[in-house]
Each structure stands twice: as C-alpha cells, then as structure tokens.
Amino acid sequence: MKPPPASYFFQFERQSPAWRYAQSVLLVILASAISFPIHFVVDAVNLVMLYLAVVVIAASFLGRGPSILASVLSVLTFDFFLVEPRLSFSVADTQYILTFLGLLAVSLVLSSTVSQLRSQVQIIHEREKHTAALSALSRALTRAHQLEDILRSVAAHIAESFQRRVVVLLPGKSGLQLAADSSPQNTLNPQELARANKVFQNQQDDLENLAVIQPGQLYYITLRASAGAVGALGIDPSDQALAAPARRDLLFGFANLTALAVERAHLAEQASRAQVLKNTEKLQEALLHSISHELRTPLVSITGTLSALLETPPNTQAPASQEMLETAYEEAQRLNLLLGNLLDISRLESGSLRLSLEPCDLQDLAGIALARFSERRYPNPVQIHIPPGLPLLNLDVTLMAQVLLNLLENAAKYAPEASPIQLSAFQKQEQAFLEVTDQGKGIPPEYLEKIFTKFFRLPQTHPINGLGLGLSISKGIVEAHGGKLNAINRPEGGFTMQIQLPLHP
Amino acid sequence: MSADLLPLKILVVDDERAIRRFLRASLGAQGHTILEAENGSMALQVAAEQRPDILFLDLGLPDMDGVEVTRRLREWSEAPIIILSVRDRESDKILALDAGADDYLTKPFGMGELMARVRGVLRHTQQSASPDPVFCAAGLQVDLSRRVVSREGQEIGLTPTEYEILKVLVQYAGKVLTHQQIISRVWGSGYNEEAHLLRVNMSNLRRKIERDPSRPDLIVTEPGVGYRLRLTG
C-alpha cells in the first residue's frame, strides 16, 4: 500500500532553492505589474493587500527565505513604483513609512508562522507515512507464515520506504547468511558478512557507526526478539539520511517487527516439528502395541495348545508325534523370544523404554538369569563368584536380568561346547561390575565395538540362532541405567562381557 | 497331571476368542467346566451368577481394566484369580496382585505352568482355615507352631525379621507375594526404607536356607513383582 498522495502545498523541497527565490521575485513582479495600472484608479495603500498576498503565497509555497525576500522586495517595489515620487525610493508622504514598516512586519511574521506551520505539518506527514509504512509491513507479516515469505516481504517494504537496498541475514551453520535481499542481483562479499556477524555477535546497532561506514558498505542492526538476537538487518546508509530521528525510529520500528516475525516463524516451525515428532511417536507406539498384541495373541494360543498336547499322557501318542510337538512348541517359544527382541529394540530406539527401578541384590539378579539360562538347557556349567555384602543397586530387575541372560547365552553359543562360564560381581570405587567370562577365543580387536551394532554377526562364524539383536539390546538397557557394557579379550585367553553400573545413579 | 485336582468351575476372561477356545478345549478335556467372558462387565455378571471356583483374568480387556475387575470382584468374592498378562504390563500386574489377585502368568504360557499356578492358589485357599503348622520343601522344614526352621535335620538360626519373612512366605506357599504384600505383613506400612530391608534380609535368608543362594530353589524371585516360596517337596 502506498502512502496517501501529498498535496503540492508544502512540497517545495522538491524544487531547487534558486528556482524558489526566482519564483518569489517573479511573484513580486507579477503583483507590481497588476498594481501599476490599478494604482491610478485606487489609492496605493489598498494595493498593500496584493503584496501581502504575494508574501503569503511565497511563505506557503516557496519557504522561509523566498518569503522574506518577497517581503523586502514588496516593500521596495511598492515604494519605487506606487508611492510618490514614483520611480524613486524617496518618500514624500511620511505616512507611507508606517505602511512600509507594517507591510514588512506583517510579511515577516506571516512568513515565519507559515514556515513553522509548514514544518509541523511536514513532521505530521512524515509520521503518518511512517505509521502507514509500519502498519503496511505488519499487515504483510500477518499474512506471511513461511520464513521465506516474511523475509522477502520485509526486504521489499523497507527498501520501498527508504528507497534503498535492504538485506536480511539469519544465522546459519557458520554465522550469519544472506536470507533476503531487496536487490537480488547483488551479493554480499565476505567482508560484508564479517561486518554483519560482528554486529550480530556483539548485538550492537549504534548509529554513530554510520559516520565510519565506507561507500559500498551497508549499515547493520541486530534483530532482537524476546529470546535474544535472531538475525541482522542491513541497509544502504548513503546520504546519511538515516541519522534523522524520525528515520531512525522508523528503521528500528521495522527491525522490531522483523525480529518478532522471524521469531514467530521459528516458534511455529518448532511447534510443527514437535507435532510431527509426536505423531511419529504415536505411530511407533501404536505399531509396537499392535505387534505386541496382534502377533502375541496367536502365539499364546499356539504355545498353549502345543503344551496341552505335549502334556497329555504320552501313551496315547506315537513317539514321532511327541517329537514333532516338542519341535513345534520350542519353535513357538523361540518365535516369542525373537518377537520380544524386536519389541525391545524398537522401544530402545524410539526412546519409549521405561525403566521401573527397584533396589536389587546382584546375587538375586544372577539367580533370575541363571534360572532362565538352565531352563534353556545349555550344557555349560556356570560358576558364580559374588561376594556377600555388595550394596543394592537401583535397577529394572526384569530388563537387567535379560541383559545377564543374553550375555550368558552368548557365552554359551560362542565358547567351546560345554566349557564353563564364570559369572562374577565386584565393586570398585563408585561402580559395580558384573562380568560374564567364557573360554572362547574372543573377538578380533577390530570387531570389539561392532558387536554391539544391530544385526551384526561376526564373519566366518557358522550361522547361529538369533537376529543379532541381543548385544545391542543389552547395551541399550545398560546405558539406560547410566552404565556401560564393555567387551574385553582377556590377555590370558577367554572373553569377558562386563556390565559396569554406577552405585548411585 | 490333573489327577490331584477335583473338577473345577473355571471362568476364563479374555477378549481373544482363540485363547478362550484353546483353554476351553484343553481344560475341558481334563474334566473342568469352563465359563467364558469376553469383557469385564460380563465377567462380573457371570461370576455373580455362576460362582466359579477360580478365574483366569486377562488384564487388557476392552471395556474395563483387569485391575478394576479384580477390585470389584474382591468386594464380595474370595474366588482365586490368576492374572494372564502380556510381558509389558508389569506395573498392572502388581496393581492387580495388590488389589487381591492371587497369582499371575505371563503370556504365552504352557498348560503345565498354568495348572501349577492353579494348584498353588487352591492349596492356599483350601488350607487357610487350618494351616499346616509344618512346612516341608526341598529339604527345608519350617515348624510355625514351634518357630523352628531346619534344613536336612540341622536347625538354622534366623533373625526375627528373617523368620517373619519366611513365615509369610510359608503361609502363602506356592503363591506369589508382591514386595508390598510382604512389607506390609512384616513391617506394617511403609515402603522406601523397607524395600531395601526386604532385599537385604531376603539375601541373608537365602544364604541360610538355600543350598546354593545363587540358584535358589526355595524362594524364587518373580522379577519386578515379588517372591514365591516354591511348593515342590
């Protein structure tokens, strides 16, 4: 929207001073030309009014200087042409001295009053323009939602109001970057970017700097919003007009509007990102729930049915069918474990794993894992070294027992058949350690970290049951407890998986 | 396997038809009468009309929380309740046990495990009138009338707290007891301080009565829930 068109009244600044003075002289000449024939008919004093009119016109349209010139010229021409003796500056009738003085005084007062009025109107008009410009920008910003639109709109509005180049800079990966430019064909050189960054980092914008700006450089001010600096605004300072208080206020008004709009856009973006994340989490939860429910439910019936068949008196069944049932039952249970692993890994990755902590005795924990380990009929004997008197740890017992079971199973899978496994616990400073040590040949050093990766399998090992999730789940659970899971090749041979937990998390 | 069980009237509460069906088939084959309910309100209604001997209750019901069903049922019925829940509802499980359910089993389960639970809870309800003063299992003897605990004929000295814990476990032998249930019976109310005391005393108790405290075969830990004194002799 454009400011309302100003009347020609008071707009004399657009004309050059010489032309204005010339116009004032012409006006006096015009008045004299009109008066001269008339003064033969009417009394000369009456023609003073015509000269007064000239002074008023000069004051209104041409400014203070030309109107004073008009006043003085009027008095002189009046005397020269219209007062006896004519064509001479001498005055016969002394009463005309009074007329001269009156004309001069009235002219001067008029011209000064009019010029004062004019400057006030000019200020009001300027303010009106500024208000209109600010409200136009604020309206445009209300309509713009995307950061890009906002910045384009800002650059265009400010550039139009000040009739000069405007740029907007926003922080990027490496300091401020050009985000909008009212003259897009131009670019900012690195020195300019460095200057803008300096202003942004120090959050400065003092107009005194205007004086030291070299030609071709822009003047930068920081865009400040409620949460701090959000960017910088650059404007071409040529002709120093920015230093005028009204201009300066307008510029800062624009800067404030811009800062608020940028902040609003940032907040809106954050809100929408949070919403997306929330939706993703909801989806993930729903997926987890449906996996857990929809896949588990048939498994419950299958496992239950198979177990019921297995437990019916064996004499009613052929030995072959007994074995088939056993296979089916074990496989159903394995499927259930795999399903559990998949659920665990997705819970860990989506961050929806919730620990329910309770004080736990490490020997008790070992007992739970061992009971499940022996249920699975591994041939390896497990030797336990847990000294009495270890402090209780705050753990999710179910999850941590599963970690321990995973480690025991891994040891059983990769160590020599039926070789013993050591399970030990000890305390060192503010840490508790649980170690599962096997007599296997350990892991090549380059894989020590990789074994915790999802679906990782050591190359050159024969395929072993499982998805390759056990260790990454275990690591996730231990880390959720604020601990560490370490893989250690023992120098004397054998391999240790070590759970390290803080005593006071 | 069901030789030691009289025919029972069992109410199966589960919204999954397949689960009700396999339970009906396999329990029916053992001579039990099976009642079915697919939601909580139906369960309460059937329980009131048919007076089942025991209930199998799923926690995730479409209309009502299984915990709520337990609570309402316990207002007027003493019939044993066995919770059948999926693995990721530990906290609900404890709530249901504290609300009066007798035991729980995690899905999927084998029929053998289920019937063992049934025997455990029935033993307790049938015995509660006149509890056997001497408990024997895995070489351990607990004589509640004389306050004497012995293992393979050798008397074991327990602290008063250890004895109280063991006594509670013996009274509810075969049945799971939540931490809270043991704490309130041994110490009265309270939880935080006592939760630690319970673990420490349990550890000491196991060292005294178990053959191998790292492989307990008397007092079994139900992770996240509580403890159970195993019944096998």
CATH class of B134-229: mainly alpha
Say yes or no for a CB contact (<8 Å) between B214 and A299.
Answer: no
B140 - beta bridge partners?
A: B137, B151
Q: Residue A336: its chain B contacts at CB < 8 A? A: 108
In terms of pLDDT, which residue wins out, B219 or A286? B219
The correct CATH number of A161-258 out of 3.30.450.40, 3.90.550.10, 3.40.1160.10, 3.30.230.70 is 3.30.450.40
- Tell me if chain B has a CB within 8 Å of the CB of A416: no
Residues B22-57 pLDDT 10s: 899 989 988 999 999 999 999 999 999 999 999 999
Q: Residue A325: its chain B contacts at CB < 8 A? A: none
Q: Residue B223: its chain A contacts at CB < 8 A? A: 368, 397-398, 401
Instruction: Give per-residue burial for A432-470: e unless 16+ CB within 10 Å, then b.
Output: bbbbbbbbbebbeeebeeebbeeeeeeeeeeeeebeebb
Instruction: Identify the pLDDT of residue A14.
Output: 65
Least confident of A100-104, A434-438, B81-85: A100-104
Q: What are phi and psi of A302, to 5 degrees?
A: -65, -50
3-state DSSP of A261-277: HHHHHHHHHHHHHHHHH
Query: Which among A303, A370, A398 has the least Cβ separation from residue B214?
Result: A370
Between the CA of residue A442 and those of A13, A425, A439, A470, A491, what are the distances in Å? Answer: 92, 20, 8, 17, 10
Q: Name the B residues in 212-231 with CB < 8 Å from any A CB.
A: 213-216, 220-221, 223-224
- Rounded to a whole number, what is the distance in angstroms from the first to the last CA of chain A? 63
Instruction: Please give the residue of chain B at the shortest CA–CA distance from A356.
Output: B224
Per-position DSSP letters for A104-165, written without gaps between them: HHHHHHHHHHHHHHHHHHHHHHHHHHHHHHHHHHHHHHHH--SHHHHHHHHHHHHHHHHTS-
Least confident of A145-154, A198-207, A399-408, A432-441: A198-207
Residues A97-122 pLDDT 10s: 787 788 778 877 877 887 788 778 88
- Tell me if chain A has a CB within 8 Å of the CB of B62: no
User: From the candidates B214, B215, B219, which should be mutated to test the interface with A, based on the most A CB atoms within 10 A?
Assistant: B214
Cα A141 off chain centre by: 17
B111 Cα to chain A: minimum distance (Å): 5
In single-letter form, the type of residue at position A178 comes to L
A152 Cα to chain B: minimum distance (Å): 53
Instruction: Identify the pLDDT of residue A387.
Output: 92
User: From the candidates A334, A364, A375, which should be mutated to test the interface with B, based on the most B CB atoms within 10 A?
Assistant: A364
Q: Residue B29: its chain A contacts at CB < 8 A? A: 308, 312
pLDDT interval class at A335 (50, 70, 90) = confident
Say yes or no for a CB contact (<8 Å) between A397 and B221.
Answer: yes
In terms of pLDDT, which residue wins out, A183 or B21? B21
Say yes or no for a CB contact (<8 Å) between B203 and A299.
Answer: no
Burial of A15 (0-12, 13-18, 19+ CB in 10 A): middle
Q: At what angle do helices A64-77 and A48-61 cross, to 10 degrees?
A: 160
Instruction: Identify the pLDDT of residue A159.
Output: 86
Q: Residue A303: its chain B contacts at CB < 8 A? A: 108-110
Say yes or no for a CB contact (<8 Å) between B223 and A366.
Answer: no
Say yes or no for a CB contact (<8 Å) between B22 and A307.
Answer: no
Between the CA of residue A500 and those of A37, A445, A465, what are the distances in Å? Answer: 117, 20, 27
- Tell me if chain A has a CB within 8 Å of the CB of B60: yes
pLDDT interval class at A240 (50, 70, 90) = low
Q: What is the DSSP letter of A453?
A: S
Cα A239 off chain centre by: 34
Instruction: Please give the residue of chain B at the shortest CA–CA distance from A398.
Output: B223
Instruction: Please give the residue of chain A at the shortest CA–CA distance from B30.
Output: A312
B220 - beta bridge partners?
A: B228
Instruction: Identify the pLDDT of residue B56.
Output: 95
B68 Cα to chain A: minimum distance (Å): 21
pLDDT over 90 (residue A404): yes
Instruction: Please give the residue of chain B at the shortest CA–CA distance from A400.
Output: B223
Half-sphere exposure of A333 (CA within 13 A, CB side): 13
Spatial CA neighbour of A45 closest among A90, A85, A2, A82 = A82
pLDDT over 90 (residue A243): no
pLDDT interval class at A2 (50, 70, 90) = very low
A60 - beta bridge partners?
A: none
Say yes or no for a CB contact (<8 Å) between B109 and A370.
Answer: no
Instruction: Please give the residue of chain B at the shortest CA–CA distance from A299.
Output: B108
Domain boundaries, chain A: 12-134, 161-258, 358-502
Distance CA B136, CA B152 (A): 10
pLDDT over 60 (residue A11): no
Reduced to 3 states (helix: H, G, I; strand: E, B; else coil), residue A71 is helix
Instruction: Please give the residue of chain A at the shortest CA–CA distance from B26.
Output: A308
pLDDT interval class at A349 (50, 70, 90) = confident
Say yes or no for a CB contact (<8 Å) between A370 and B29.
Answer: no
Q: Residue A311: its chain B contacts at CB < 8 A? A: 1, 110-112
Q: Tell me if the domain spanning A358-502 has CATH number 3.30.565.10.
A: yes
Tokens of B43: 């369960």
Say yes or no for a CB contact (<8 Å) between B111 and A308.
Answer: yes
Cα A219 off chain centre by: 23
Q: Residue A329: its chain B contacts at CB < 8 A? A: 110
Question: Is the distance from CB of A168 to CB of A194 less than 8 angstroms?
Answer: no
pLDDT interval class at A334 (50, 70, 90) = confident
Q: Tell me if the domain spanning B9-127 has CATH number 3.40.50.1820.
A: no
Say yes or no for a CB contact (<8 Å) between A356 and B91.
Answer: yes
Say yes or no for a CB contact (<8 Å) between A398 and B90.
Answer: yes
Burial of A9 (0-12, 13-18, 19+ CB in 10 A): exposed
pLDDT over 90 (residue A460): no
- Tell me if chain A has a CB within 8 Å of the CB of B146: no
Q: A with B: how many residue pairs have Cβ under 8 Å apart? A: 112
Residues A419-430 pLDDT 10s: 999 999 999 988
Q: Residue A330: its chain B contacts at CB < 8 A? A: none
Spatial CA neighbour of B186 closest among B199, A316, B175 = B199
- Tell me if chain A has a CB within 8 Å of the CB of B31: no
- Number of helices followed by number of strands (H, E) in chain B: 8, 12
- Tell me if chain A has a CB within 8 Å of the CB of B28: no
Residues B136-152 pLDDT 10s: 887 888 998 889 999 88
Query: Which among A298, A307, A311 has the least Cβ separation from residue B18?
Result: A298
